Amino acid sequence: MARRVGKVVRLLFYGSLLMFCSIVFGIQVWMLVRHYLNEPVALELGEELSGVTDAPFPAITVCDSNRQSRSVARAWGVLNPKGTGVSWRRFPWHRRPVAEFWEEAAPRLTSLVQQCNRRECRPTGARGGSTRQGRWTAGRYRRGLCYTFQPSGPLVFNGRRRLALVLHSDPAEHTAHGHSNYLRRPAVDVFVAGDQPPIVDKDFEDAERSPHLSVDVGSVVSARLGASRWHRLPLRRRPCQPGAGHSRSRCLVSCRWEERSRVVGCRPPWSAAPPSLPLCANQTEFLDMLYKDFRVPSDDPCMRRCLMACNSTTYELRVTSLLANRSGLLAGHRAVLELHWPYAIQLNAERPGYSLSDLISDLGGSLSLLLGVSVVSAVQLAELGVRRGLGLCLRHYRRRRRRPAVRAADCPLRPGGPPGPGAAHGTSGLPAVSRGTEPAPAAAAAVSSRAA
């Protein structure tokens, strides 16, 4: 009796332990699989060293803080009575397009950039042109016309990788000159955005401006450029756009202006999309495009269309030295800027933080710790199951082969019962004999006597 009680207690103990370990293993499987499906990533940091003539200098965009020229606004008759800004109510909408005024009122490139690495990249045209070290191009923005310098190779000046600019901004041409709120000294804004056009205006909250600095007239600024290259993984929870030259912020700005243009029914002079819409040709449309508040829908199509770039390069500007109020520069309304390009670029690469092999290893460790199952024991269990299954199938097959050929339903005379179906069909009543066997003598004699 005591032995039976001990067996029952042991069976209950090990059964409870096995159930507890199985529950814990199931919870661990759920947690590990959920962690794997969340696609964690690990960030690897490094540096890429380069020589003096290896890494190309990024593109630089120069914009005057003055949006429209005061003299041009007066010539067009759109200067307000106080002489402190442009009055769009006076604009001759029926005679001249606003895009023409946008280009004519912008400062000339030769006046804005007077020197660039002395004469190596000094502009020769009023709206752009080619130089020895690169090319200047003009671009329309909400703030006016800006100029971008795209180097054709590494910029080396006096044995160092740098870009030296002498900038000019005339306060007499500022439309806000003489205004009571105009306390800021004229300046030139310099943007760094790589190979693509920069974002020079803070038009939307979810699109940050490109790295920039403002160089006031009369100052000498020395700044250091920093660069970081990002390599992101395309994940299900966070897809990214492959290829080079893609920027999510730039895509959002372009998409927002396209949506605003479709609502208003025209496009502004600083936006080329959508090309099917005409340019804004009256005051109401233009002011709606500038100042009307547009609500972003909850299901924003721009957020779905503009993905993060898989491979991108970000820049930063850090001022290293500043000399302000230089009398010689103040007299000529000029400023000097020196940009130094680093010899090391920071690399940021994403790697899978929890791969499939990690998941299999963790599942195997939990399985062996809680249930004592390994690969060898799993193979042995599988082999035992296969052998048992094949044994059952073979046994069933042998039983079917050993069945007697004579069935009770085929007998013409049943003992103690009515004749079988064989007699009704006119059969001879002789029992069937299996192939390869001979009837016993007693059975043959019984059959012959019944037939007589």
178 domain-assigned: yes
Q: Let me know: does 294 contact 96? Beta carbons within 8 Å.
A: no
What tokens appear for 251 in the block? Answer: 């895509």
pLDDT 10s digit of each residue in the chain, 452 long? 777 888 888 889 888 988 999 999 999 999 999 999 999 999 998 887 765 555 678 889 999 988 788 888 889 988 888 777 888 888 888 888 888 888 888 889 999 999 998 888 999 888 889 998 899 999 888 888 899 999 887 787 777 788 899 999 888 887 764 444 444 578 899 999 877 788 888 888 777 888 999 999 999 999 998 888 899 999 988 899 887 778 888 888 888 888 888 888 888 888 877 788 888 888 888 888 888 877 777 778 888 888 989 998 888 889 999 998 888 888 888 999 999 887 778 889 999 999 899 999 999 888 888 888 888 888 888 888 898 888 889 888 888 877 665 555 555 554 555 554 544 444 444 444 444 444 445 544 444 444 44
Residue 65 C-beta-side C-alpha neighbours within 13 Å: 22
Q: Same domain for 61 and 186? A: yes
* 187 and 156 together in one domain: yes
The answer to whether position 444 is within a domain reads no
Whether 425 is covered by a domain: the verdict is no
Decide if 211 is inside a domain. Answer: yes
Q: H or E stretch including 323?
A: strand 311-323
**Tally of helices (H runs) and strands (E runs) in the chain:** 12, 16
For 363, 406, 410, 439, 449, the CA distances from 443, given in Å and listed in that order, are: 69, 13, 16, 7, 10
**115, 227: one domain:** yes
116 and 156 part of one domain: yes
Rounded CA separation 129/121 (Å): 10
Q: 309, 335, 365: which is the final residue of a domain?
A: 309
User: What token pair was written down for 74?
Assistant: 């007066």
- Name, in order, each residue with C-beta under 8 angstroms of 150's C-beta and a sequence gap of 6 or more: 59, 134, 135, 137, 195
154 assigned to some structural domain: yes
Contact between residue 88 and residue 283 where contact means Cβ atoms under 8 Å apart = yes
Together in a domain, 219 and 248: no
Short-list 13, 36, 22, CA closest to 369: 22
pTM, full prediction: 0.73
Does residue 139 belong to any structural domain of this protein?
A: yes
Structural domains of the chain, count: 2
Domain assignment of residue 148, yes or no: yes
Whether 198 and 58 share a structural domain = yes
Residues 219 and 343 in one domain: yes
| Residue 158 sits in the same domain as residue 244 | no
At which of 309, 333, 361 does a domain end? Answer: 309
User: Could you tell me if 341 and 206 lie in one domain?
Assistant: yes
Neighbouring residues of 286: CB distance < 8 A, sequence distance ≥ 6: 88, 98, 268, 280
Question: Is the residue at 41 inside a domain?
Answer: no
Distance CA 156, CA 51 (A): 11
Q: Are residues 215 and 191 in the same domain?
A: yes
Q: Are residues 302 and 342 in the same domain?
A: no
Which domain range does residue 267 map to?
234-309
DSSP classification of residue 114: E
160-168 and 156-157 strand pairing: antiparallel
Domain CATH number, residue 120: 2.60.470.10
Integer Cα distance of 291 and 245 in angstroms = 31
Quick one: 255 and 163 in the same domain? Answer: no
